[in-house]
Chains A and B, each alone.
Chain A
Amino acid sequence: MIIAFIQRAIVQGIPLLFGSTGEIITEKTGHLNLGTAGVMYVGGIAGVIGAFMYENSVETINPVLAVIIPILTSIIGSLIMGMIYSVLTVTFRANQNVTGLALTTFGVGVGNFFGGSLIKLTNSELPSITLTATSNCFKTKIPFAENLGWFGDIFLSYSFLAYVAIAIALFAAFFFNKTKAGLSLRAVGENPATADAAGINVSRYKYLATCTGSVIAGLGGLYYVMDYACGVWSNDGFGDRGWLAIALVIFAVWKPNLSIFGSILFGGLLVVHNYIPNLTMASQEIFKMTPYVVTIIVLVIVSMRRKRENLPPASLGLSYFREER
């Protein structure tokens, strides 16, 4: 049962990891994208659209294409969302909170619209789309993993996207701390005027980081549908994972490597109620609340310690305009 719990915790955690890594990259350039929930939702539905089109257009599916097409459509979907956000907040310097919230509403609306349309196309009784074939391609495991007992179950039993998520998070941590571009990117989020005076193209970094962040977050939506939900899309099934991802950013004090650990912890906290016997509905809800409580506690601790390295990027949420007086 412990093994099953850890497995579920990881599967729950990976979408959050995608979301928070993407959000950290965005926030490190000073842009608080509260639209992450919408971006992830669009990333999910865009992948579903791609998979649905492909499954319905061929007799037997090619496993490679069945993986690549949804990933591509998902990336395009979340990239568009990222572009909308960056054009509004970087170029037009719109208020980031308002833009982000609008983007969430917009993204959920788009997702439900296309989700509903696809459900209608299938003429199915159930209010959902099932893409088992594609999902199975995503969930292809390493052949010998099943012979490795608990080790294989805990470490090798997930869709390859889970490993991609961890790789991206590790790479992001490396990128921030060990590369010149990472240094410049952090400088943009801390003090854009300084970065600008140092000859760094502030807008380009903001655009690139926001769009890359959105794409990564969008993959979280795709992973949720293809691995966690076994290829079943139902409207509003994604829940509040987008917000949890943003909470996770704070929990991980803007460090992608910490967010790997954090996401699994959050995932565990989300599913732990299934593994504690004799819980009533009400006490289950209390358990589901714990990730948020943990985030608040971390926030309190971090702000009490006031270590400068753990504070949010100094210009988070502020627009930058060079000639402002």
Chain B
Amino acid sequence: MSNPAIELKNITKTFGNIVANKNVSLTVYSSEILSILGENGSGKTTLMNMISGIYYPDSGHILINGNEVVIKSPKDAFDYKIGMIHQHFKLVDVFSAAENIVLGIDENGKYNIKESTKRIKEITDKYGFEIDLNKKIYEMSVSEKQTVEIIKVLYRGADILILDEPTAVLTPQEAQKLFSVLRRMRDDGKAIIIITHKLHEVLSLSDRVSVLRKGEYIGTVETKNTNESQLTEMMVGQKVELNIERTEPVNCQKRLEVLNINCVNREGVKVLDSVSFTANSGEILGIAGIAGSGQRELLESIAGLQKLNDGNILYHDPKTGKIDNLRDKTPVQIRDLGVRLSFVPEDRLGMGLVGNMDIVDNMMLRSYKKGKSLFVDRKQPRNLAKKIIEDLGVVTPGTSTPVRRLSGGNVQKILVGREIAASPTVLMAAYPVRGLDINSSYLIYNLLNQQKENGVAVIFVGEDLDVLLELCDKIMVISSGRISGIVDARKSTKEELGLLMTKHGGEQNE
């Protein structure tokens, strides 16, 4: 092991009443990959933001190559050769890749994009990136955007790279590609920090692991001397059972029948192409596919938010046995039919919850029309909010905290909690564990399982194939808006799913 590239000593940072980091000390060496592991809201991102100059610590010291430094702005961080790749990419959509890469760098005030492109090319060749530098960001896939972000920090000569949840949005193949690039950079002498909660990545990629819990530093272990259960224990502070208890589906009945639906989006691209499937009660139907293959449109058309060009969506009422067609109905009409449909959308704070409203108000979004009184009833939603906070272990200062102040996992718990509280007959969840730590993820999985046992037809759109295989009863793979296969989750393999995900020629493979 070589010299310490960066050392943190007793870093503390608070936001109002919330202590994000408390006396955290950490050392990173050059030529190593360090994973920072922790649950949601454990302060991983906040800590890294202080190294990259986004936040300023309340107290504590940062040492780079043994010298104490003050990092007050992202510019200072660049000067110390620190580069951060954020979870939400910081790229200007209407700029090309090359323009984004040179943005903000003062090369003697000169602006010569051709000259810069040449130098960017040298970097991409050295580490083996594949990217078209003249492509505009808004035309890029997520993994291309991430590549631009990484090249951007390398172009600034970063020696310390911080990646915040880099694989959260990548397919397994893309993630492998990223790992090989990261290993090449480590061998080149760079210090690499990755923030993650995926244990198998930690174990396969990093040299050492540092664990944070509730803003406090727990410890650092060498990857080769540790295992999943030890890391989990450090992370959550207690032994947890990481098993999904999948029961055999009982009493399956047709609940939702989707027949040959077609959908064309505003740009005229066919996003759903003759999609047909059946979701049964008491069963979890998984949907796998590369991001943007039509999952979103599929769920939205069932929820009544997407206009269809063709096809039917039939709902079989469990009580009356009546069959209703949900096609081209608005969410209100669907509800008035007596269909109890719950939807956990992908975009939590956009479609699911209102960020500026507090937890109680967000509960009321679903119930404000109940009752005949002229005035709204705030008592029941408040009780519901309290119940969800207690049952799901939401970390919040109180029920009157605006939802956007909570961390991603807690926001998701509130959304899922609210949707389940509506006692649905069909529950659709899109990426309900995206950005969540292990503990919360398993909590959500078990909630979905509970719903299944209660006879709900659950539709689960996921990205982690391991989880899909463990959780679901059936898995439907969607590729470029078409169903490329429906398999039995108990018998299928990751490889089979991966192949189905990229079926139908190569045009969607990026």
Which residues of chain A have a CB within 8 Å of any CB of chain B?
178-180, 183-184, 186-187, 190-191, 193-201, 306, 308-309, 311, 314, 322-323, 325
The residue in chain B whose Cβ has the minimal distance to the Cβ of A184 is: B104
Q: Is the CB of A179 within 8 A of B104?
A: no
Pick from A179, A309, A323: contact of B94, CB under 8 Å: A309
B106 interface residue, CB < 8 Å from A?
yes
Pick from A183, A191, A314, A325: contact of B111, CB under 8 Å: A183
User: Which residues of B13-39 are within 8 A (CB) of A?
Assistant: 15
Known: A199-B73, A325-B405. A183 touches B103 (CB 8 A): yes
Known: A180-B111, A184-B104. A308 touches B138 (CB 8 A): yes
What chain A residues lie within 8 Å of B110 (beta carbons)? 180
Pick from A179, A191, A196: contact of B74, CB under 8 Å: A196
Q: Is the CB of A191 within 8 A of B92?
A: yes
- 6 A-B residue pairs with Cβ-Cβ distance under 8 Å, sorted by A, are A194-B90, A194-B91, A196-B74, A199-B73, A308-B136, A309-B94
What chain B residues lie within 8 Å of A184 (beta carbons)? 103-104
Q: Is the CB of B104 within 8 A of A325?
A: no
Pick from A197, A306, A308: contact of B93, CB under 8 Å: A308
Q: Is the CB of B15 within 8 A of A197?
A: no
B86 interface residue, CB < 8 Å from A?
yes
Q: Is the CB of B111 within 8 A of A187?
A: no
A186 to B93, CA, bound (A): 11
Q: Is the CB of A183 within 8 A of B99?
A: yes
B95 interface residue, CB < 8 Å from A?
yes
Q: Is the CB of B99 within 8 A of A322?
A: no
B350 interface residue, CB < 8 Å from A?
no
Going nearest first, the 4 A-B pairs with the smallest beta carbon separation are A198-B104, A199-B75, A194-B90, A180-B111
A179 to B107, CA, bound (A): 12
What chain B residues lie within 8 Å of A195 (beta carbons)? 92, 103-104
Tell me the total A-B contact number using a CB cutoff of 8 A: 77
| Chain B 251-288 interface 0/1 with A at a Cβ cutoff of 8 Å (1 = within) | 00000000000000010000000000000000000000
What chain B residues lie within 8 Å of A323 (beta carbons)? 15, 54-55
- Additional 10 contacts, C-beta under 8 A, given A183-B111, A190-B95, A194-B91: A183-B102, A195-B104, A196-B54, A197-B84, A198-B103, A198-B105, A199-B74, A201-B75, A306-B266, A325-B405
| Chain B 68-101 interface 0/1 with A at a Cβ cutoff of 8 Å (1 = within) | 0000011100100000101000111111000100
What chain A residues lie within 8 Å of B266 (beta carbons)? 306
The residue in chain B whose Cβ has the minimal distance to the Cβ of A182 is: B111
What chain A residues lie within 8 Å of B86 (beta carbons)? 197
A201 to B104, CA, bound (A): 9
B321 interface residue, CB < 8 Å from A?
no
CB distance from A14 to the nearest CB of B (A): 30
What chain A residues lie within 8 Å of B74 (beta carbons)? 196-199
CB distance from B312 to the nearest CB of A (A): 31
CB distance from A250 to the nearest CB of B (A): 17
A51 to B106, CA, bound (A): 43
What chain A residues lie within 8 Å of B105 (beta carbons)? 198-199
Q: Is the CB of A187 within 8 A of B55?
A: no
Q: Is the CB of A180 within 8 A of B90?
A: no
What chain A residues lie within 8 Å of B95 (beta carbons)? 183, 186-187, 190
Known: A186-B92, A190-B94. A325 touches B15 (CB 8 A): yes
B316 interface residue, CB < 8 Å from A?
no
A94 to B509, CA, bound (A): 46
Pick from B75, B78, B104, B138: contact of A187, CB under 8 Å: B104
B121 interface residue, CB < 8 Å from A?
no
What chain A residues lie within 8 Å of B91 (beta carbons)? 191, 194
The residue in chain B whose Cβ has the minimal distance to the Cβ of A180 is: B111
What chain B residues lie within 8 Å of A193 (beta carbons)? 90
A183 to B92, CA, bound (A): 10
What chain A residues lie within 8 Å of B73 (beta carbons)? 196, 199
A190 to B36, CA, bound (A): 32
From B84, B90, B99, B109, name the one whose CB has the most chain A CB atoms within 10 angstroms: B90
Pick from B54, B106, B109, B136: contact of A197, CB under 8 Å: B54
B186 interface residue, CB < 8 Å from A?
no
What chain B residues lie within 8 Å of A314 (beta carbons)? 93-94
